Structure 1
Amino acid sequence: MKKHFWWMSVALWLPLQAAAQDERFHSPVDIPFLMSGSFGEPRPNHFHCGIDVKTQGVVGKRVLSVCDGYVSRLTVGYDGFGNALYVTHPNGLVSVYCHLDEFVPALQEIVRSRQYEMETERVDVVLQPGEFPVKAGQLVAYSGNTGASLAPHLHLELHRASDGALVDPLPYFRHLLTDDMSPVVHGVKLYACPGQGWIDTGRSSKTFTVTADASARVVRAWGRVGAAVWADDLMNNTQNKFGIRRITLKVDGRQVFQSLMDEFMPDENPLVNSWGDYPHYRKTKHWYLKSFVEPGNTLCFLSADENRGWVDVDEERDYLFEYALEDLKGNVRVCRFTVRGERDDARLAEAEEREQLRRASGAWLEYDRPQVVQRPGMELRIPAGALTKDEVLRLRVEAKEDGISNLYVLHDEFVPLVKRATLMLAPRTPVSRPEKCYIESSRGYVGGEYADGWFSARIRDLGESYALAVDTVVPVVRWKTAFNGKKVSVLRCVPTDSGSGVKSFKAYVDGRFVLFTSYRGVWTCRLKETPLRPEGKRRRLTVKVTDRCGNETVDEKEFIY
């Protein structure tokens, strides 16, 4: 991304950023405002799309609307949010409150009615302006731990209504922050551009620690090199670590790269694996964020010079690299290191030869062109733009004597995709019941559709192995409730499936649907929250569990209520 593109982006951001500086939102909680996660932190395949607000380690804390507006949407079971509530505001933003335990009673009743109408826990309810107006500071829900949450907290997002952009909420809560702590740099990683440079380890990259003293770390190199940094931000009154809002890299006083994490579009999420060193993260759980931009990386908050952040070390002298990392409150951490230009034509020739051998070691994939890779019983279709740089695919086929297809190891390195590719697998012999077959990866169920002798599915990681699997076994229901002829007030069970996985769960009492809610694999029905009335009579419970291959188990129990 060239400089003029970045300045155009900044011009578009300025009105919203100016508003954030001037506008103060009400705290979403009525306890001390402390955070456990910040906007834009890198995660596998996505950025953290909001901020995490602490709820003192418990569920049930009051959640308040941050600004005047109206409740526009209520969801259960979508996007990993668990129970979520959306409030649309007059300033063009939508605040989203996630992982909630429950909504206020009036909203809870709206959701419950829709769940019974649809006979499912998972619902998406849209409300119109005027149906449920709210004021800043008004109680709308109670905090929880639902959805893809590992501990009780409130996940808060801001969406721009006009285009769906994800916006950093923190500037609107700046007045609630106490933060005089600078970011911490754990390490720097220097890369030799494949075939165009070398560094003194003789390898393609080198990691090392740095300080403010550039002379304390000297790395010898020649040709084209790039840098990445592993760092965390800190805040007062919490032990949590946070992402870095602004990263700037200068070489000999000239800026070559900058990132400003203040907003991005939802479809840019997969590009986190390009900005961050994804293979390094998979091995160490540490994110090194690159200060060079791969050709297919179009993240709107990255800016780089005409070399896209790569640095040409083509003189026999010292090059001063200086990182400046800054948080919202203006706390800055500066660290430096020296790259000493040391000409060595023999080493550069070796690097060029290694790159040529690498390109010849498998199928060469160009990032900006559609690619088709075929092997017996397999076809892989990669759309243009699915990769952010050219890659070599070293595909391996292994026979599975007990399987209905071969095992296809697509690559020996972790290569995530920005756009999903289509993988097609054919069974070695015709299958009589294709609806019972699916594609599975080394991580588990992938799925797939069957047509003309081929199963096809969409995949997003080339660093996995894939094969066809068969599932003809029905799910199993294990009850945590004791049905011993006594009165029962709570029904609780754990449905499992050893093959394709559970797809649907429905329950009926005396032929009437009753709602079970799921949490960590346990499905629970509190009978007092159902339309059933306690009459002390014998009831018949029927539970139907279906897996992704259509295998269904029906379990019936009797109890008194």
Structure 2
Amino acid sequence: MVSSQGNASLYSTYPDNYFQNPLDIPLILSGTFGELRTNHFHAGLDLKTQQRDGLKVVASAEGYVSRIKISHWGYGKAIYITHPNGYTTVYAHLQKFNKRIEAYIKLKQYKKESFEIHVFPSSKELIISKNELIAFSGSTGGFVAPHLHFEIRDTKTEKPINPLLFGIHVDDSKKPRINSLIGYSLDNNSHINGINVPLQLSMINLKNGELRASKINAFGKISFGISGYDQLDGAYNKNGFYNLSMLVNGNKIYEFEASSFAFSESKYINLLIDYERFENLKQRIQKCYIEPANKLSLYTKPIKNGYLNIEDGLNYTVEIIAKDFKGNSQKVTIPIIGKKDAIKIRSESKITPYKIDHKQFYKFQKNNISVAFPKYTFYKDLYLDFEIKDSIVNIHTPTVPLNKKYTLTFDVSNYSENQKRQLYIASIGKKGKTNYKTTIKKDSIFYTSIKKLGSFTLLTDNLNPKIRLHNFKNEQWLTHFKTLKVKILDDESGINSYRGEIDGKWILMEYNVKNGVLTYNFNDKTFIKAKHQLKVIVTDNVGNSTTINATFFRKK
């Protein structure tokens, strides 16, 4: 049985030496469990695969394949193996499966006529032995570099658990690094150095490798946050901390530990970080205090949830300690003098006509546009900005995180039926880039459900998708070709679906979103005659469609 070396007390115990390294090369990580990602925590380990696809992936323990999911995004090609000891392992971003699993899933894909598929084999269909070759590593699932994503989950709860807690060994002699320190004044009467807004604090390096912040004057309810990273031996990747704690005068008042969480908790990552700073500067500051609405289970039971109440005339010493799983650590010490000063810079809230009680439902309408916020869409009360200018609706600012989706609705009764067919709702980014939002069309009402504030508009897509032959020419002999490739592209609303056929029958074409190439493997079919007709149809998100027809020849 093992426990984290990053925590002096036994946090939890898990079976040691049951799960093995799923690769037959030394284990080097490019990503650790619990890392802070966009809108979620990393649920496993990212194992380096020597910057290439095609490494053998073996079962970490005996069991059976309980789930196979293939998608263009997310985990790409993924296998889930359920084990008799109550845990399930996950292997993701795979290039392909072993012959037995590949044959099994292709039958399902051809039956459904879909590349993307999600199946749950029974416990007797695909039994797996420990160390059995199950797949080959890849880079499927979006804009992903070659690696193997590996998870261990509790089978009953589906909660992912840090695989390092199961005795999987990774060399790590490097200390974490703390880069930035931010001080937070958490009510109207508090301050740090007379400032009532988030304040970046300077630090100096000490000879022993630790850090010391400049002495600050403070008063009232305050706390801190840090940014930084950890690195492991053999890799330059910047990974997350395993443990982050804060002590005041030697007493621990906050602790985060990347051990296990539920996927339903992932949204709270936007309360764990300084979300406004991340949206503005793309810097992830991990707060050392717990927001009232934050229900993450990654915290140990803290005292005062990481909040400090600084009194006038008293001195305090704050220590923030970042640790990795091996117990390597770096500490920053913050000396505080309690001093009630006049506040020179104060946080101010803009008052608008749209006051939100986050516990209530609201619907606001202007011109032909409305927004509806269910109860608890927001984590706290606020004044909402809601403006329409030049056909663009501005819904507050994307620097405020949301707990739930809200609905944005456009009345399009002034458009003709032909115009409606090509209309869609799009978000507008900082640099003016637009992105299609799933648009539900019901007569003259178009709406979308979204979980981010910002700017939106209606756009028209009257351009058909583009298709071209990629690795062959029309009427070419392809006898010695292993694959047939077609490149597809859409410049406006984006590709919604595609369909490939040879001689009128559906074929399995794998879509690589990184390069826009559809690939058909000739091993899928035995060809009897020489002349064949290829047909590929591509449809975008508003229904514009393009078809390409080509002839190819192939000997028996």
TM-score, scaled relative to structure 2: 0.90
Match of 1:198 in 2: 191
CA gap of 1:144–1:305, structure 2 versus 1, over 3 A, is closer
2:63–2:128 contact (8 Å) kept in structure 1: yes
CA gap of 1:189–1:534, structure 2 versus 1, over 3 A, is farther
Match of 1:440 in 2: 426
The reply on whether 1:114 has 2:108 as its aligned counterpart is yes
CA RMSD of aligned residues (A): 2.4
2:202–2:213 contact (8 Å) kept in structure 1: no
CA gap of 1:16–1:322, structure 2 versus 1, over 3 A, is closer
> In structure 2, how many angstroms separate the alpha carbons of the residues matched to 1:233 and 1:187?
14
1:294–1:388 contact (8 Å) kept in structure 2: no
CA gap of 1:23–1:471, structure 2 versus 1, over 3 A, is same
Match of 2:5 in 1: none
1:100–1:146 contact (8 Å) kept in structure 2: yes
2:160–2:260 contact (8 Å) kept in structure 1: yes
Structure 2 unmatched runs, 5+:
1-8, 429-433
The reply on whether 1:124 has 2:118 as its aligned counterpart is yes
Deviation, 1:79, is 5.5
Match of 1:545 in 2: 538
Q: Secondary structure at the match of 1:110?
A: helix
Q: Given the alignment, which residue of 343, 347, 351 partners 1:347?
A: 343
1:74–1:125 contact (8 Å) kept in structure 2: yes
Deviation, 1:282, is 2.8
> In structure 2, how many angstroms separate the alpha carbons of the residues matched to 1:39 and 1:369?
36
CA gap of 1:367–1:307, structure 2 versus 1, over 3 A, is farther
> In structure 1, how many angstroms separate the alpha carbons of the residues matched to 2:201 and 2:426?
39
Deviation, 1:64, is 1.0
Q: Given the alignment, which residue of 403, 418, 442 partners 1:451?
A: 442
CA gap of 1:383–1:304, structure 2 versus 1, over 3 A, is farther
The residue correspondences of 1:250-265 to structure 2 (distance < 5 A) are 250-265=247-262
> In structure 1, how many angstroms separate the alpha carbons of the residues matched to 2:518 and 2:441?
35
> In structure 1, how many angstroms separate the alpha carbons of the residues matched to 2:489 and 2:211?
57
Deviation, 1:341, is 2.0
The reply on whether 1:495 has 2:488 as its aligned counterpart is yes
Deviation, 1:471, is 2.5
Match of 1:17 in 2: 12
Match of 2:394 in 1: 409
Match of 1:26 in 2: 20
2:387–2:394 contact (8 Å) kept in structure 1: yes
> In structure 2, how many angstroms separate the alpha carbons of the residues matched to 1:380 and 1:288?
31
Match of 2:379 in 1: 388
Structure 1 stretches of at least 4 aligned residues deviating more than 6 Å after TM superposition: 212-215
Deviations 1:404-432 (A, max 9, x none): xx211112452232221111122372442
Q: Secondary structure at the match of 1:330?
A: coil
CA gap of 1:79–1:498, structure 2 versus 1, over 3 A, is closer
1:214–1:320 contact (8 Å) kept in structure 2: no
CA gap of 1:362–1:303, structure 2 versus 1, over 3 A, is farther
Letter in 2 for 1:397: I
Greater shift, 102-111 or 293-302, is seen at 293-302
2:387–2:393 contact (8 Å) kept in structure 1: yes
Deviation, 1:366, is 3.3
CA gap of 1:46–1:431, structure 2 versus 1, over 3 A, is farther
> In structure 1, how many angstroms separate the alpha carbons of the residues matched to 2:300 and 2:375?
23
> In structure 2, how many angstroms separate the alpha carbons of the residues matched to 1:319 and 1:454?
59
The residue correspondences of 1:133-282 to structure 2 (distance < 5 A) are 133-174=127-168, 176-200=169-193, 202=195, 204-210=197-203, 211=205, 216-282=213-279
Greater shift, 471-480 or 117-126, is seen at 471-480
Match of 1:286 in 2: 283
Q: Secondary structure at the match of 1:49?
A: coil
2:212–2:332 contact (8 Å) kept in structure 1: no
Q: Secondary structure at the match of 2:136?
A: strand
> In structure 1, how many angstroms separate the alpha carbons of the residues matched to 2:130 and 2:393?
55
Q: Given the alignment, which residue of 320, 323, 334 partners 1:323?
A: 320
CA gap of 1:435–1:166, structure 2 versus 1, over 3 A, is farther
Match of 1:368 in 2: 359
Match of 2:503 in 1: 510
Deviation, 1:266, is 0.8
Letter in 2 for 1:236: D
Deviation, 1:446, is 0.4
Q: Secondary structure at the match of 1:257?
A: strand
Greater shift, 521-530 or 46-55, is seen at 521-530
CA gap of 1:478–1:135, structure 2 versus 1, over 3 A, is same
Q: How many positions carry a matched residue from both structures?
A: 532
Deviation, 1:556, is 0.9
Deviation, 1:209, is 4.3
> In structure 2, how many angstroms separate the alpha carbons of the residues matched to 1:362 and 1:303?
41
The residue correspondences of 1:34-53 to structure 2 (distance < 5 A) are 34-53=28-47
Letter in 2 for 1:17: S
1:24–1:172 contact (8 Å) kept in structure 2: yes
The reply on whether 1:80 has 2:65 as its aligned counterpart is no
2:68–2:78 contact (8 Å) kept in structure 1: yes
Letter in 1 for 2:166: Y
The reply on whether 1:427 has 2:418 as its aligned counterpart is no
Letter in 2 for 1:106: R
Greater shift, 298-307 or 93-102, is seen at 298-307
> In structure 2, how many angstroms separate the alpha carbons of the residues matched to 1:95 and 1:362?
51
Letter in 2 for 1:42: L
Deviation, 1:173, is 3.9
The reply on whether 1:483 has 2:478 as its aligned counterpart is no
> In structure 2, how many angstroms separate the alpha carbons of the residues matched to 1:164 and 1:435?
41
> In structure 2, how many angstroms separate the alpha carbons of the residues matched to 1:280 and 1:39?
23
Deviations 1:453-486 (A, max 9, x none): 3221111111x21111223432221222342533
Of all paired residues, the percent bearing the same amino acid is: 26
> In structure 2, how many angstroms separate the alpha carbons of the residues matched to 1:121 and 1:500?
21
1:425–1:467 contact (8 Å) kept in structure 2: no
CA gap of 1:16–1:113, structure 2 versus 1, over 3 A, is farther
Deviation, 1:530, is 2.6
CA gap of 1:173–1:411, structure 2 versus 1, over 3 A, is same
Letter in 2 for 1:417: L
Letter in 2 for 1:229: I
The residue correspondences of 1:67-106 to structure 2 (distance < 5 A) are 67-77=61-71, 80-106=74-100
2:510–2:520 contact (8 Å) kept in structure 1: no
Deviation, 1:77, is 0.8
Question: Greater helix share, 1 or 2?
Answer: 1
Deviations 1:145-179 (A, max 9, x none): 111352111001222221221221122244x2222
Deviation, 1:324, is 1.6
Deviation, 1:109, is 0.7
2:194–2:218 contact (8 Å) kept in structure 1: no
Structure 1 unmatched runs, 5+:
1-13, 400-405
The reply on whether 1:466 has 2:456 as its aligned counterpart is yes
